[in-house]
Chain A
Amino acid sequence: MLEMDEIQKRILNEVAGLHDVPEGAYNIRANGKSAGRASTANIDIIPREDGQGLTVKIKPGTKHESVHIPVVMTQTGLKEVVYNDFYIGEGSDVVIVAGCGIDNCGNQDSQHDGVHRFFVGKGARVKYVEKHYGSGNGRGKRILNPVTEVYIEDDGQAEMEMIQIKGVDDTDRVTKAELGAGASLVVRERLMTHDDQNAVSTYVVNLNGAGSKADVVSRSVARDKSYQKFDAVITGNAPCSGHTECDAIIMDEGRILAVPGLEANDVDAALVHEAAIGKIAGDQIIKLMTLGLTEAEAEEQIINGFLK
């Protein structure tokens, strides 16, 4: 059983879909301390000596296993920087579920900055799911500044799903990736900001090996007076293919800046970017209204679908 209170358990469910300890390897961090940890025969979770993070070692050839490392914070004024390193052994195939939820009912800012480094071995495959969530009605902000670095060796694959739908006041996300020959990276980012929130998401992807490929897609919604910046640069240093896409819905007085960037340093680098920002199409709302939904219900359905 986990040593957590009800609020912490609710947040845990929001970010990781967990009610209790998960199967497989896990570490649950609550208010700066481990609330539960388990390694498995193939996955070793080793806490750093300073207590600020983990080293996760996945043995080569490990298949169909998962690692859960959610973080919950309910203490106002808590600020932490956590360093987690993941070594994903050659030929393994694993799922890593991270995520951070902050409930801040106080008047001081709560901040979690997670620095995650992934070392994906040759031919290994990792799916990484990260969900960020904030709640609480205090005046203190809920701040998350994740830094993700991904190093993918030859023929390795990383698929990353990064979701922030609600309640995070300020986020500055940086994702960097270096890909070897035949390696692939797929990123699916889902973001919604509301009220006065601010979200910056920066990607720097270097396609260094022949046959490497990257697909970075962000779908986002900016409502109320929130601001978002999406800045994605893919550099092709070898025969490779890269695609970046920002598809954004803007509402109310929201603002969005999309800065797609491509750099080709090899004649066989094929790079594409797409960016579209606009409000919800009027005919989408009308169609759902003809099915009996109110305008507000129609908007909600459209946004839910868009961010699914």
Chain B
Amino acid sequence: MLELKNVSFGVEGGGNNGIKEIIRDVSFTVPDDKLIVITGPNGGGKSTIAKIIAGIEKPSGGSIIMDGEDITDMSVTERARKGIGFAFQQPVRFKGIEVFDLIRLATGRKISAADAREYLSAVGLCARDYINREVNSSLSGGELKRIEIATILAKAPKLSVFDEPEAGIDLWSFKNLIEVFEGMRRNIKDSSMLIISHQERILNIADEIIVIKDGRVCANGTKDEVLPSLISTESAVRECTGIKRGGDLDA
């Protein structure tokens, strides 16, 4: 279980004291065996929250607790070893590192090409064509994105954080992406998932939905509580002013 308690994050520039607050007093819980989707307007702070969980950004206030242990001051590496996986919104390219290398590093052990094939097949890539490809600019954005997801499958983390996994998924249906998420829920024991997404079909498989706007939690509840009011605003990216926990609209 992961808990964010009163997490804040600011960057230099703007504001009264020269600090611009990106995340303000955010608290929520990701229980074991649950799939949580964070949604909300662009620029609202969703990706920053994901990076704070992975340890890439350090919060200026508040704490992060994983399975009862305070991990606020832990490095990216320590958190990864505790079981946090993070799929980048824009996957990183490497000159010379091959797809197989990346998957092997993700598993943290020696694996065979056949083992790696399994993860690539799960994201709809033919292993034979990809396993020895360099993870460089010869791959399309969509291919990189699928390889990024394959590294998370290979790592099999206790908590997987996906930052807009649907962005750039070309020629590969959403149905497959959703199957990947459902497969992870089945196959990784006690695992939980936190997905940042604007997509209704991903919101639809959530157990709980958190809406982040202007760096704050502006709604947090079960899918059935939150989703109808989001959809009624036409799009999940639209403003959600007025939605609060429980999904009721303010009068």
Contact = CB atoms under 8 A, between A and B. Distances in A.
Instruction: Decide whether A and B are members of one complex.
Output: yes
Interface of A: 219, 247, 281, 283-284, 286-295, 301-302, 304-308
Given A301-B101, A301-B105, A305-B101, A292 B81 contact: yes
Contact of B94 (A291, A294, A302): A302
Contacts of B151: 291
B106 A291 contact: yes
B92 A281 contact: yes
A284 B94 contact: yes
B76 A289 contact: yes
B92 A308 contact: no
Nearest to B88: A287
B76 A305 contact: no
Given A284-B94, A291-B108, 10 more contacts: A219-B95, A247-B95, A290-B85, A291-B102, A292-B105, A301-B105, A304-B96, A305-B94, A305-B95, A305-B97
Nearest to A289: B76
25 contacts: A219-B95, A247-B95, A284-B92, A284-B94, A286-B76, A286-B92, A287-B88, A287-B91, A288-B105, A289-B75, A289-B77, A290-B76, A290-B85, A291-B80, A291-B105, A291-B151, A292-B155, A293-B105, A294-B77, A295-B77, A301-B105, A304-B96, A306-B95, A306-B96, A307-B96
A291 B155 contact: yes
**Secondary structure of the B side of the interface?**
mixed
B87 to A, nearest CB: 9
Contacts of B92: 281, 283-284, 286-287
Contacts of B108: 291-292
B119 interface: no
**Secondary structure of the A side of the interface?**
helix
Interface of B: 54, 56, 75-77, 80-81, 84-86, 88, 91-92, 94-98, 101-102, 105-106, 108, 134, 151, 155
B155 A305 contact: no
A306 B81 CA distance: 25
B77 A302 contact: no
A190 B96 CA distance: 12
A302 B76 contact: no
A308 B101 CA distance: 12
Of all A-B residue pairs in the complex, the 5 with the closest CB atoms, nearest first, are A305-B96, A305-B97, A289-B76, A292-B80, A287-B92
A75 B86 CA distance: 52
Contacts of A293: 77, 80, 105
B86 A290 contact: yes
A48 B80 CA distance: 60
A284 B102 CA distance: 11
A289 B80 contact: yes
A251 to B, nearest CB: 15
Contacts of B81: 292
Contacts of B106: 291
A227 to B, nearest CB: 22
A264 B81 CA distance: 55
A127 B2 CA distance: 56
Nearest to B76: A289
A290 B105 contact: no
Contact of A286 (B56, B102, B134): B56
A301 B97 contact: yes
Contacts of A294: 77
Contacts of A281: 92
Contacts of A288: 105
B77 A292 contact: yes
A308 B105 contact: no
A308 B94 CA distance: 12
Contacts of B91: 287
Contacts of A304: 96
B153 to A, nearest CB: 12
A281 B85 CA distance: 20
User: Which of A288, A290, A307 has the most chain B CB within a 10 Å cutoff?
Assistant: A290
B164 to A, nearest CB: 16
Nearest to B81: A292
A292 B105 CA distance: 8
Contacts of B88: 283, 287
A292 B35 CA distance: 23
A289 B92 CA distance: 12
Nearest to A295: B77
B45 to A, nearest CB: 19
User: Which of B94, B98, B106 has the most chain A CB within a 10 Å cutoff?
Assistant: B94
A207 B95 CA distance: 29
Contact of B97 (A247, A289, A290, A302): A302
Contacts of A306: 95-96
Nearest to A288: B105
